[in-house]
Structure 1
Amino acid sequence: MTCAETTLPATTAKSEIGRKATLLMVATLTIMAGTTISPSLPAIETTFANVEGVKLLSRMVLTLPALFVAFCAPLIGGLADRYGRLRLLIGSILLYGFSGISGLFVESLPALLVGRAALGIAIGGVMTLTTALVGDYFSGSERERYLGLQQAFTGIGGVAFVAAGGILADYHWRAPFAIYAVALAIIPAAIAFLTEPARPAPNGQATVSLSEHAVRWLPVAALCTLAFLVNMIFYFIPSQLPFYLRAVGIGAASSAGFALGLHNLVMAGSALAYGRLRARLSVPVIFVIGLCLMTLGFVLVAFATTMPSVLFAMAIAGAGLGLTIPNLMSGIIALASPTSRGRLAGMVTASMFIGHFTSPFASQPLIEAIGYQETYLAAALGLAALAIVCAVIALNGKVRA
Structure 2
Amino acid sequence: MTDIPVPPSTRSRTPGPWQAALLLAGSCMPVMGSVLITPVLPQLSAHFGDAPGADILVPMIVAIPALMIAIFAPFAGQIVDRLGRKTLLIVAMLAYAVAGTVPAWLDSLGGILVSRAFVGVFEAAIMTVCTTLIVDYFHEARRRNRYLGLQTVATTLGATVFIAVGGAVGSAGWHAPFWIYAIAIPIAVLMIVSIWEPARSDSTDSHAVVGERAAVPWRAIALPLVVSLFGGFTFYVMIIETSYLVVGTGVAPTDTATIGLVAAIASLATAAGALLFPRLARRGSQQLVPTAFALQAVGMIIVWLTPAFAGVLIGAVIASFGSGILLPSLVTWALARTRFEDRGRVTGWWTAAFFFGQFATPIIVGGITAATGSLPVSVGVVGIAAAVVGVVVLLGTRASRTRAAAPLESEPLV
- TM-score of the two chains, using structure 1 as the length reference: 0.85
Q: Which amino acid aligns with 1:152?
A: V
Alignment equivalent of 2:359, drawn from 357, 372, 387: 357
For the 8 Å contact 2:76–2:348, the answer to whether it is kept is yes
Partner Cα separation in structure 2 for residue 347 and residue 157 of structure 1: 24
Q: Which amino acid aligns with 1:267?
A: T
For the 8 Å contact 1:224–1:351, the answer to whether it is kept is yes
Q: Which has the higher mean CA deviation after the structures are superposed, 286-295 or 117-126?
A: 286-295
**CA apart distance, 1:151:** 2.0
Partner Cα separation in structure 2 for residue 53 and residue 265 of structure 1: 36
Deviations 1:230-258 (A, max 9, x none): 21233334444455555552335565555
Deviations 1:271-291 (A, max 9, x none): 122112112x12121001111
Partner Cα separation in structure 2 for residue 105 and residue 98 of structure 1: 12
For the 8 Å contact 1:129–1:342, the answer to whether it is kept is yes
Partner Cα separation in structure 2 for residue 5 and residue 330 of structure 1: 28
Alignment equivalent of 2:292, drawn from 276, 287, 290: 290
What does residue 185 of structure 1 align with? 186
Q: Describe the shift of the 1:378–1:6 C-alpha distance in structure 2 as closer, same or farther (beyond 3 A).
A: farther
Q: Describe the shift of the 1:139–1:160 C-alpha distance in structure 2 as closer, same or farther (beyond 3 A).
A: same
What does residue 109 of structure 1 align with? 109
**CA apart distance, 1:98:** 2.3
What does residue 265 of structure 2 align with? 262
Partner SS, residue 286 of structure 2: helix
Q: Which amino acid aligns with 1:272?
A: L
Q: Which has the higher mean CA deviation after the structures are superposed, 382-391 or 310-319?
A: 310-319
Q: Which has the higher mean CA deviation after the structures are superposed, 221-230 or 367-376?
A: 367-376
Alignment equivalent of 1:387, drawn from 370, 386, 390: 390
What does residue 32 of structure 1 align with? 32
Partner Cα separation in structure 2 for residue 148 and residue 31 of structure 1: 16
What does residue 97 of structure 1 align with? 97
Q: Which has the higher mean CA deviation after the structures are superposed, 234-243 or 326-335?
A: 234-243
> Is residue 63 of structure 2 the alignment partner of residue 60 of structure 1?
no
Q: Describe the shift of the 1:111–1:330 C-alpha distance in structure 2 as closer, same or farther (beyond 3 A).
A: same
**CA apart distance, 1:9:** 3.6
Q: Which amino acid aligns with 1:28?
A: C
Which runs of 5 or more residues in structure 2 are unaligned?
A: 404-411
Partner Cα separation in structure 2 for residue 19 and residue 236 of structure 1: 32
What does residue 148 of structure 1 align with? 149
* Number of aligned residue pairs: 393
What does residue 123 of structure 2 align with? 123
What does residue 18 of structure 2 align with? 18
Q: Describe the shift of the 1:342–1:289 C-alpha distance in structure 2 as closer, same or farther (beyond 3 A).
A: same
Partner Cα separation in structure 2 for residue 54 and residue 253 of structure 1: 25
Taking only aligned residues, the RMSD between alpha carbons, in angstroms, comes to: 3.2
What does residue 341 of structure 2 align with? 339
Deviations 1:112-166 (A, max 9, x none): 2222211101110011011111121111322122211222233332332233334
> Is residue 87 of structure 2 the alignment partner of residue 84 of structure 1?
no
Q: Describe the shift of the 1:399–1:75 C-alpha distance in structure 2 as closer, same or farther (beyond 3 A).
A: closer
Partner SS, residue 13 of structure 2: coil
Q: Describe the shift of the 1:368–1:49 C-alpha distance in structure 2 as closer, same or farther (beyond 3 A).
A: farther
Partner Cα separation in structure 1 for residue 9 and residue 89 of structure 2: 19
Deviations 1:181-233 (A, max 9, x none): 322221121111100112259xxx974595x9464313312111111112123
Partner Cα separation in structure 1 for residue 260 and residue 179 of structure 2: 16
**CA apart distance, 1:380:** 1.7
For the 8 Å contact 2:10–2:201, the answer to whether it is kept is no
**CA apart distance, 1:46:** 4.2
Partner SS, residue 16 of structure 2: helix
For the 8 Å contact 2:245–2:376, the answer to whether it is kept is no
For the 8 Å contact 1:151–1:322, the answer to whether it is kept is yes
For the 8 Å contact 1:80–1:129, the answer to whether it is kept is yes
For the 8 Å contact 2:4–2:209, the answer to whether it is kept is no
Q: Which has the higher mean CA deviation after the structures are superposed, 188-197 or 216-225?
A: 216-225
Partner Cα separation in structure 1 for residue 367 and residue 348 of structure 2: 30
Q: Which has the higher mean CA deviation after the structures are superposed, 51-60 or 80-89?
A: 51-60
What does residue 161 of structure 1 align with? 162
Q: Which amino acid aligns with 2:18?
A: G
Partner Cα separation in structure 2 for residue 75 and residue 158 of structure 1: 26
Q: Describe the shift of the 1:292–1:7 C-alpha distance in structure 2 as closer, same or farther (beyond 3 A).
A: farther
What does residue 74 of structure 1 align with? 74
Which runs of 5 or more residues in structure 1 are unaligned?
A: none
Q: Which has the higher mean CA deviation after the structures are superposed, 120-129 or 320-329?
A: 320-329
Partner SS, residue 336 of structure 2: helix
Partner Cα separation in structure 2 for residue 59 and residue 115 of structure 1: 14
**CA apart distance, 1:312:** 3.8
Alignment equivalent of 2:380, drawn from 358, 373, 377: 377
- Once the two structures are superposed, the pairs formed by residues 237-276 of structure 1 within 5 Å of their partners are 237-243=238-244, 245=246, 248=250, 249-252=252-255, 257-276=260-279
Q: Describe the shift of the 1:240–1:5 C-alpha distance in structure 2 as closer, same or farther (beyond 3 A).
A: farther
For the 8 Å contact 1:162–1:260, the answer to whether it is kept is no
Q: Describe the shift of the 1:206–1:350 C-alpha distance in structure 2 as closer, same or farther (beyond 3 A).
A: closer
